[in-house]
Each structure stands twice: as structure tokens, then as C-alpha cells.
């Protein structure tokens, strides 16, 4: 059971996890910005050279690759916290929300006498 441990993480930790997930894309975006700024300076300085154009195209294709890479990654491990009781069942089961992606899921628990929980988690002897 990792929920208690995860609940100790502050919001800052969740932000960091989100940034880590997106980082290749953020870094590629920053490089593209650099290349675009270099193009602007080059325009003042006799026009961008073939090298400037190449740098820009490379930065653009890096952003495309990074976006695909980030999208193709396995989903992060959700950092779930209990947010409220579910209205789906009458056993006091909880709705958990992920602090990274904002996704919500219902946690039916057999300990509350919930049949859905008994089906979901077979008893361990
Ligand atoms: Zn999540
Ligand atoms: Zn339930």
C-alpha cells in the first residue's frame, strides 16, 4: 500500500513529477526558442545563414520527436489522494484523485463491506 507514503508528498513534489514527465519536450521547446531568437539576431546581421536555418530545422524536429516521445511514454504512476466519498455505492468507498494528472478513480474497499471491493481484490490469506 503506497497511498499513505504518497500522501506525504507535497504539491511541489507532484509538480516536479509532472515537469519530469514533460521534461524532454520542455527542453526541446527551450532549444527551439533559442534557435528562433538566433534567427532574429541573424536577420539584423545580414540575414540568417544556411547554418542558422539548419539549426532551426533541427530544433523543430527535436520538438516533434520529444512530443512523440512524451506521448508514447507509459503513463506516470498516479499519485493518488482521497478527495471525497463516492456516490456510486453506499458503503463509504472513496474517490481517489491523482495529483499529477488530475484523473479520478473510485476505490471500492471490501473493508467497508463493499461487494465491488470484494470482487476487485480477492482476499489474501
Ligand atoms: Zn495520474
Ligand atoms: Zn464501493
Per-residue pLDDT tens over the stretch 104-124: 999 998 888 898 887 654 555
What number is the average pLDDT over the span 76-101? 89
Expressed in angstroms and rounded, the spacing between residue 110 Cα and the centre of ligand 2 is: 8
Expressed in angstroms and rounded, the spacing between residue 81 Cα and the centre of ligand 1 is: 10
Q: Give the integer Cα–Cα distance in Å for 122 and 50.
A: 65
Expressed in angstroms and rounded, the spacing between residue 122 Cα and the centre of ligand 2 is: 15
pLDDT of residue 96: 95
Model confidence at 71, pLDDT cuts 50, 70, 90, reads confident
pLDDT of residue 21: 79
Report which bound ligand comes closest to the CA of 75: 1
96 shares a domain with 65: no
Q: Which residues span the domain enclosing 104?
A: 80-120
Query: 5 pLDDT exceeds 60?
Result: no
Q: Domain count of the chain?
A: 2
Expressed in angstroms and rounded, the spacing between residue 97 Cα and the centre of ligand 1 is: 8
Query: 10 pLDDT exceeds 80?
Result: no
50 shares a domain with 86: no
H or E element at residue 80? strand 80-85
The pLDDT tens digits of the residues spanning 14-40 come to: 677 777 878 899 999 999 999 999 999
Report which bound ligand comes closest to the CA of 92: 2
Report which bound ligand comes closest to the CA of 95: 2
Amino acid at each position: 500500500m503506497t497511498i499513505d507514503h504518497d500522501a506525504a508528498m507535497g504539491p511541489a513534489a507532484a509538480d516536479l513529477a509532472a515537469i519530469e514527465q514533460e521534461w524532454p519536450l520542455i527542453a526541446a521547446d527551450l532549444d527551439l526558442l533559442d534557435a528562433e531568437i538566433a534567427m532574429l539576431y541573424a536577420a539584423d546581421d545580414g540575414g540568417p545563414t544556411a547554418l542558422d536555418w539548419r539549426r532551426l530545422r533541427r530544433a523543430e524536429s527535436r520538438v516533434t520527436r520529444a512530443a512523440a516521445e512524451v506521448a508514447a511514454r507509459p503513463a506516470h504512476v498516479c499519485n493518488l489522494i482521497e478527495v471525497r466519498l463516492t456516490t456510486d455505492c453506499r458503503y463509504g468507498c472513496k474517490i481517489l484523485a491523482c495529483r499529477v494528472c488530475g484523473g479520478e478513480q473510485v476505490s471500492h474497499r471490501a473493508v467497508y463491506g463493499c461487494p465491488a471491493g470484494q470482487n476487485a481484490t480477492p482476499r489474501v490469506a
